[in-house]
Amino acid sequence: MSATDVLQVEHLTMRFGGLVAIQDLSFRARHGDITALIGPNGAGKTTVFNCITGFYKPTEGRIALHHGDPAMWDELGALTDSSLRKRVRADGGLFLLERMPDYLVTKDARVARTFQNIRLFKGMTVLENLLVSQHNPLMRASGLTVLGILGFGVYRHAENRATEKAIQWLEKINLIDRADDPAGDLPYGDQRRLEIARAMCTDPVLLCLDEPAAGLNPRESGELSELLLSIRQETKTSILLIEHDMSVVMEISDHVVVLDYGVKISEGTSAEIRDDPNVIAAYLGVEQDEVESVITEPVS
Amino acid sequence: MTLQASAPKTGVNVARAIRDATIAGLIAFGILLPLIGFETVQNMRNELALETRPWLLAIFVGLVVLASLFISFVVRPWNQHRRAVRPAGASLKGAALRAAFAKWFTPFALGVAVFYPVLVIWITGFSGAVKWIDNFGIQILIYVMLGWGLNIVVGLAGLLDLGYVAFYAVGAYSYALLAKTFGLSFWILLPLAGILSAFWGVLLGFPVLRLRGDYLAIVTLAFGEIIRLVLINWVDVTSGYAGISSIPRPTFFGIPFTANEDGFAAVFGLEFTPLYRTIFLYYVILALALLTAFVTVRLRRLPIGRAWEALREDEIACRSLGINTTNTKLTAFGIGALFGGFAGSFFAARQGFISPESFTFTESAMILSIVVLGGMGSQIGVAIAALAMIGGTEMLRELDFLKQIFGAGFDPTQYRMLLFGLAMVLIMIWKPRGLISTREPTAFLKERKTVAAKFVEEGRG
């Protein structure tokens, strides 16, 4: 079962002083799946994201990420007992994300993320945004800047490759005509797609999207769903997504995890979730045994 | 209909003009009464006495009232008229002009900078040229270089640094002390002083990495003061306030600029004049400044430069893209300090004498205002701002003819800070983001479009 997981979150707890934001949360995201994390406002979804991507250090728990050879999962216990944060081999890697600082989560473990409130580099052009996200390979090619300053060809080739990759993504998200415009000049929906493309330019194995459909109209949400499905299909990237737009969640998710007050209340396929009385109760804000009466009650 | 109603009226509102002039006059009276209305003089018995100058006060207030009326009756109607009759093609023509300016300005400015000593000698002859090359050329270029160096930290990386003069001081003292103690040459010590400065830049970087915005500014300010106080109080090494004198001057690849027979003039069979050293120093600082510009332009197109600008735009997004923001900030501090150190060691070599007086907070403020006035991140803007501010203050020394108008006691250089502040206020009204506030993208697919200032973040540390 665990052989095909990309991410295992176990007993994750996050406390801010006296406030318990996440309580003993465990879930798994399978390789190549689109896993959705849903729940009412304030349920702790973004906190989970911030723990996975290294922006918060969890109070307790283990967050393990893996790519490559599935057999590496067997080494998880040994890695946890050691004081190391990762075990990398030619055919794969195993990472303990809770031990890594935020930028290494992206650089080494290859987890990319987007933000609830879009965080593009608004004063830089669309193309530059996609080049900044390829910082680490370009930095290596520029010989930590030294070769680049001296004008070696190595860096120019690397930059051309990076530009080509950016062009591919711009064609995919239909923004190729606006490549030379500042990112802040794009309409909202385009900015959302650009942020996803920027995250994808880091070559992630796991893409974490924080409410990608927020503020989009139904047509744009539809396009977003298609984009995410095609990303999954073409790049084999696993996707973890927080979303309030249930049409998107139900349409594309393979697996749904429901959070409420920092606790996992349900898990399963979208069809299972839709009919789970626990979930309905959480979203309506009532106890489980009152759900029937709330639903059947005529609206006065 | 409402559109027509809200269109600006092109007449002159007399009542409003008079009201504005009255208010301006009253404010001027209130401010100038203590400043101009009273004068302290020594009377016959050597006592301090207060004299009133009602007429001078009246003249100044009258000037302010007249200026206000001038604005109401001439400037404002003219502006409205211009706005009303502006033809549709005007903005297009303006854009073409601006494009031509952008294309030709840099080569032109470079040409002027390279041939400046020749021009000066041609105009003023050998005897008058030293002043113009040294006080104007070299002095301005030092500040251009400092501005470009600080531009990396403030303009590109968006880290507000109020203590940049510290690195200038480290460079200057490194050169002075090492040259005097070990007798090493200028060309060996120049990179060494730069590296030492960069080391201090990184050292400062470490504790302030966690700080942002105002807090960062305060700590860098404190760092600048610490360096200055150490220079004052560590008398054994720096000889404190007395400073370090007779610092070895740079040589022309081993040939000194002296009057004896192995000096530059004798070796090349020329008549001795101090001008040769000045011209040589001019080209050294020009080369150093151009090196700064070249490296900055190159760095902006490299991942490290893009990471600096991305850091200015959004630090959290940078971290989410796998960029090590700690290292990125440290390199910005380090490379900025490196150029400050170069400029400092050049300064020490040129002056032959340095003391902590040369590295006060005023210098930091001056360099920072050059960067802010020029437009953060813009090379050309910073150069223009340095030219205007340093050249302008030097120009004040040349205004001796004003003594004939205001009397022999009048010293125009005393009004330096007043004019400086006035220029600052005017620029901030006219161009709040600096002379050149647009951003040149570092990469493009089809067309290089400048990014409008409204999209560019200023950085909050």
> Tell me: the pLDDT tens digits for B44-103?
888 888 888 888 888 889 999 999 988 888 888 888 887 777 655 555 666 777 777 777
- Nearest by CB to residue A136, choosing from B310, B322, B442, is B322
Which of A131, A133, A182 shows the shortest C-beta gap to B455? Answer: A182
Q: How confident is the model at residue B3 (pLDDT cuts 50, 70, 90)?
A: very low
Q: Number of residue pairs across A and B with CB atoms under 8 Å?
A: 138
For B265-301, what is each residue's pLDDT tens digit?
777 777 777 788 888 889 999 999 999 999 998 898 8
What percent of chain B clears pLDDT 90, i.e. is strictly above it? 27
Residues B50 and B113 in one domain: no
Residue B306 has pLDDT above 70, yes or no: yes
Chain B partners within 8 Å of A53 (Cβ): 320
Contact with chain B for residue A261, Cβ under 8 A: no
Measured CA to CA, the distance from residue A162 to residue A156 in angstroms comes to 10
Confidence of residue B193 (pLDDT cuts 50, 70, 90): very high
Last residue of a domain, one of B25, B53, B82: B82
- Taking residues B366-380, report their average pLDDT: 86
A290–chain B nearest CA distance, Å: 43
Percent pLDDT > 70 in chain B is 94
User: Are B18 and B156 part of one and the same domain?
Assistant: no
Range of the domain at B67: 2-82
Q: B301 Cβ partners below 8 Å, 6+ apart?
A: B442, B443
Residue located via tokens 């409205």:
B80
pLDDT along chain A (300 residues), means of 10: 74 89 89 88 88 90 85 80 81 84 86 91 91 88 73 81 91 88 89 92 91 88 90 89 85 89 87 84 71 58
Once rounded to an integer, what is the mean pLDDT over residues B433-458? 79
The residue from B57, B82, B107 where one domain ends is B82
How far CA B140 is from CA of B132, B282, B298, B355, in Å, comes to 11, 10, 23, 20
Stronger pLDDT, B357 or A141, i.e. the higher one = B357
Confidence at B2, pLDDT banded by 50, 70, 90 = very low
Q: Which two tokens stand for residue B199?
A: 């080391």
pLDDT at A169: 92
Q: Alpha helix locations (H) across chain A?
A: 45-52, 76-81, 102-107, 126-132, 135-141, 146-149, 153-172, 188-200, 218-235, 246-252, 270-275, 277-284, 291-296
Mutation pick from B304, B321, B331 vs chain A, by most beta carbons of A within 10 Å, is B321
The whole-angstrom distance between A145's CA and the closest CA on chain B is 7
The answer to which of A173-187, B122-136, B380-394 has the lowest mean pLDDT is B122-136
Residue A124 has its nearest CB partner, among B304, B313, B321, at B313
In a domain, B407, yes or no: no
Nearest to A180 among B303, B323, B444 (CB): B444
Residue B169 lies in a domain: yes
Same domain for B103 and B69: no
Decide: helix, strand or coil at residue B212.
coil
Structure confidence at residue B279 (pLDDT) = 86
Q: Does A127 touch chain B (CB under 8 A)?
A: yes
A186 in contact with chain B, both atoms CB, cutoff 8 A: no
Assess if residue B290 is contained within a domain.
yes
Residue of A nearest to B335 (CA): A145
Cβ-contact A186, A194 below 8 angstroms: yes
Task: Enumerate the β-bridge partners of residue B40.
Answer: B50
> What's the mean pLDDT when you consider all of chain B?
84
Q: Which residues contact B321 (CB under 8 A, 6 or more apart)?
A: A106, A112, A132, A133, A135, A198, A199, A202, B310
B424 within a domain of the structure (yes/no): no
B41 with B111, same domain: the answer is no
Contact B173, B139 (CB under 8 A): no
B176 belongs to a structural domain: yes
Q: Which residue of B has its CA nearest to A151?
A: B298
Does B1 score more than 50 pLDDT?
no
Rounded to the nearest angstrom, the minimum Cα separation between B310 and chain A is 6
Rounded Cα distance, B336 and B289, in Å: 13
Q: Round to whole Å and give the CA distance between B111 and B129.
A: 19
DSSP B268: T
* Claim to verify: residue B237 and residue B290 sit in the same structural domain: yes
Q: What superfamily does domain A2-110+203-296 belong to in CATH?
A: P-loop containing nucleotide triphosphate hydrolases (3.40.50.300)
Among the candidates B49, B82, B115, a domain finishes at B82
Q: Are residues B127 and B187 in the same domain?
A: yes
Number of structural domains, chain B? Answer: 2
Angle, alpha carbons B317-B319-B322 (nearest 5°): 115
Distance from CA of A271 to the nearest CA of B (A): 33
Cβ pair B322:A119 closer than 8 A: no
CB nearest to A123's CB, from B322, B325, B456: B456
Q: Which of A246-250, B189-193, B318-322 comes out lowest in average pLDDT?
A: A246-250
Q: Are residues B72 and B118 in the same domain?
A: no
Domain spans of chain A? 2-110+203-296, 119-202
Quick check: A128 and B442 CB within 8 A?
A: yes
CATH of the domain at B132: 1.10.3470
pLDDT tens figures, B134-174: 888 899 999 999 999 999 999 898 888 898 999 999 999 99
